[in-house]
A and B are shown apart, each in its own frame.
Chain A
Amino acid sequence: MLKNISNLGDAALYCDFGIQVNKATNLEVIKYFNTIREKKIKGINNLTPSYNKLIISFDLRVTNFSEIKKKIENLDTTIEQNKNNKKIEVPVCCEENFALDRDRLEKKLNLSYQEILTKFFDKEYFCYMTGFIAGMPFLGDIDENLRTQRLKTPRVKVPQGSVGITEQFANIYTFDSPGGWNIIGNTPLKVFDDSKEKDPNLINPGDTIIFKKISRQEYESKNDR
């Protein structure tokens, strides 16, 4: 449920769907996101859905906070939407050079790497949102025994394709990027393809992801980046 709308500065709405981070709350965020997108409301120039928030940016030269707020409050979100959510398999290689935080995770979680991987692979994860860097999916929820904090000092450069975990979430680094998530492996898949203007993201909010463990050899043969 949309609980509250406030202003984030003078050119954005901050829509709060409650403090709970779960699939039900996030589906509500995505429903608003899709409905507003289809409506093509004049002046809105960006929508940023996340776990439990939706930020609506607008062009202050065209409209203002109270105008957009009124439109969002009167929005009919009951209309059935085209759900074309996908189920996507993501191959991940966890061999050396890829599993950057193997030692750290074994120690933190008090599990062998084999146990960690067994708890991580072949399960369905839900895509809550994409962002931070282009196409990066935020997936969840991972097994309760795999949950740990970010690195104290983030890496300056996490390699492209790295699969990371932190708290209840997993993600995929679509570019070489700074970052503090615990890296368990690397995927050869191209998760963001900027040659496709229409649909550059392989994974979109609402999609289901299943990670599949692959060998080094399979990794090399599948590498399409």
Chain B
Amino acid sequence: MRVKMIGNYFEILRGGINTTFQDKGRENLYHIGIPFSGVMDNRNFLLANKLVGNHLTAPVIEFAYQGPHLKYTGDKLNFVITGDVIFKIKKKDNEIDGVCYQSYHLENGDEINIISTNKSVYGYFAIGSEIDLNFQWNSCSINTKANIGSNNGKKLDSGQKINLLKINSDKTLKKVNYINSKIENIRVIKGTNFDYFSDEGKKIFFEKEFVVSKLSDRMGMRLEGPKIENIINTNIKSEGLVKGVIQVPADGNPIIMLSDHGTVGGYPKIGVVVSVDYDRLVQLAPGSKVKFQEIELSDAETLFKLYEMETKNLLSQI
């Protein structure tokens, strides 16, 4: 039996656009059609948890664009927001502008209003406490398309409560200096159907600018730009997909698979975004202009190692 602490909870005054609980995601389920899910921006997730003294992979609240407005009832705790986010903290008599990557104390009656992400998409709200959540396949991650995960697989909505189980005893305030870098050139490895496209189409893919479409979400990022011409077949026999795969359907506009992507797909794969660029890729807001740049596998592997070392280094500063 789980012992429920009474009295420590957040009340959701406004849910925000797409606010979900996320953690590291779920493994080894692609073969039954369940995607990885989990946080979109892994580095900001790890930093958020470290800044409030949680396990690095503890559940956090992920929000997109406009975040939630929350009112807290209960004993003192720590929280932090990571990403590039504009938010306000309302105490008894005053309201202050919050700063990302810096933990704050929250006391009974305080409110947090996450107004918006700034020229980016995802932000993270970590609470220095265990949260009362349901886990499915060892993950709380909400997949709203399949209604899997905590909160019955649905995004958080106004009027709901987030109950806390055990507040962290260490309430030391922490911070780290970090600025999210923007990405303009997305590095890709050629896809398994690269030769389905005309020479002109291949040239367009690597030389022209594409714009991130509004029709982007946790499943995929749609891009608009010059059409990429297919000269073999606009369909392939359905086969597995992974995060970062760039499919080009018959209309010639690329779609990049993101964390909640369908596990199989039948459009040709022109390329795959490399792991090192994933965290920055997902932060591209609609309207952003991007270019694709080819990279070799060995370079992609080296760059990812460096990125991981940089993340570890940041975590060690906290």
Contacts and interface: CB of A to CB of B under 8 A. Distances in A.
Interface of A: 6-12, 14, 21, 33, 45-55, 57, 60-61, 64-65, 129-136, 138, 174-175, 177, 192, 194, 197, 200-201, 204-205
A186 to B, nearest CB: 19
Given A55-B241, A60-B301, 6 more contacts: A9-B272, A48-B30, A50-B238, A132-B263, A134-B33, A138-B238
Contacts, number: 135
Contact of A131 (B148, B244, B264): B264
Contacts of B137: 197
Contacts of A60: 275, 301, 304
B263 A48 contact: yes
Contacts of B304: 10, 60
How many interface residues does chain B have, given as a range? 35 or more
Nearest to B146: A134
Interface of B: 27-34, 36, 136-137, 145-148, 189, 191-192, 237-245, 262-265, 269, 272-275, 297, 300-301, 304, 308
B31 A33 contact: yes
Contacts of A55: 30, 239-242
A8 B33 contact: no
Q: Which of A6, A9, A14, A50 has the most CB atoms of chain B within a 10 A radius of its CB?
A: A9
A10 B264 CA distance: 18
B275 A53 contact: no
B245 A50 contact: no
B33 A11 contact: no
Nearest to B265: A132
Contacts of B147: 175, 194
Given A138-B238, A197-B136, A6 B30 contact: no
A64 B31 contact: no
B239 to A, nearest CB: 4
A57 B308 contact: no
A138 B262 CA distance: 14
Given A9-B273, A48-B30, A131 B263 contact: yes
Q: Which 9 A-B pairs have the closest CB atoms?
A: A48-B240, A9-B272, A55-B240, A131-B33, A131-B263, A10-B300, A46-B30, A131-B264, A50-B239
